[in-house]
């Protein structure tokens, strides 16, 4: 399959970035980090003729890649990285809304899952935002976009469950990142945040492409 080299590059760079946490930042670490999700973006771009709106998926992954690189280059670029991920979530929201499974009524399980996500996000925001200082407003906007993205992934009801699972993992990763940055240290923070984030992006990207 033509996609396998890109998947290998994505997985290999992700594992290398994960295992090299104790030596970061090092020369080229931003490039390694960017290749993990960047390769998925290229994979999505090459799938435009096979899967509807694969180019939109590629755009969301590209915004995510930009956010990854900005956060790795300099902590002072945090706000810009946050902005890049905000654009990624907005892109994903549009993608999921355009491609939800038609003709299926929402069932209690999916509605309950969305309600749980809303309550969890609201609780986290109430706890985190007072400690965010000058970033309070951007954080609130970001949490709203992230929560909407996850809810859209659940309500879209793709044939593959991995899109919703990936979106939830993305939320967990960002929640841990926010807790570590604004409230208190999270054990093995770097490893857990990267693992859940990367698996989340894989779930969204590969799950969407496989749902065609």
In the three-class reduction of DSSP (H, G, I as helix; E, B as strand; rest coil), residue 106 is classed as: coil
* Distance (Å, whole) CA 185 – CA 175: 12
Q: How confident is the model at residue 212 (pLDDT cuts 50, 70, 90)?
A: low
**Tens digits of residue pLDDT in 103-128:** 666 788 889 999 999 999 999 999 99
* CB-CB contact of 142 with 82 (8 Å): yes
Task: Domain of residue 55: give its range.
Answer: 4-210
Question: How many domains does the chain contain in total?
Answer: 1
Query: How much is the mean pLDDT over the chain?
Result: 93
Residue 200 above 70 pLDDT?
A: yes
pLDDT at position 104 is 62
């Amino acid at each position: 399959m033509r996609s396998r080299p890109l998947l290998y590059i994505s997985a290999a760079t992700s594992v290398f970035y994960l295992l090299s946490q104790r030596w970061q930042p090092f020369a080229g670490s931003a490039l390694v980090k960017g290749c993990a999700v960047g390769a998925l973006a290229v994979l999505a771009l090459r799938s435009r003729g096979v899967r509807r709106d694969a180019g939109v998926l590629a755009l969301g992954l590209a915004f995510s890649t930009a956010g990854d690189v900005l956060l790795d280059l300099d902590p002072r670029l945090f706000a810009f990285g946050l902005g890049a991920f905000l654009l990624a979530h907005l892109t994903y929201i549009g993608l999921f809304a355009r491609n939800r499974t038609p003709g299926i009524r929402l069932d209690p399980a999916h509605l309950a899952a969305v309600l749980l996500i809303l309550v969890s996000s609201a609780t986290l925001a109430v706890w985190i935002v007072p400690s965010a200082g000058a970033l309070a407003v951007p954080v609130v906007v970001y949490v709203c976009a992230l929560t909407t993205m996850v809810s859209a992934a659940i309500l879209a009801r793709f044939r593959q469950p991995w899109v919703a699972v990936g979106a939830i993992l993305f939320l967990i990763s960002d929640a841990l990142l926010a807790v570590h940055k604004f409230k208190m240290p999270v054990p093995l923070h770097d490893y857990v945040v990267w693992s859940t984030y990367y698996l989340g992006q894989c779930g969204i990207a590969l799950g969407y492409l496989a749902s065609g």
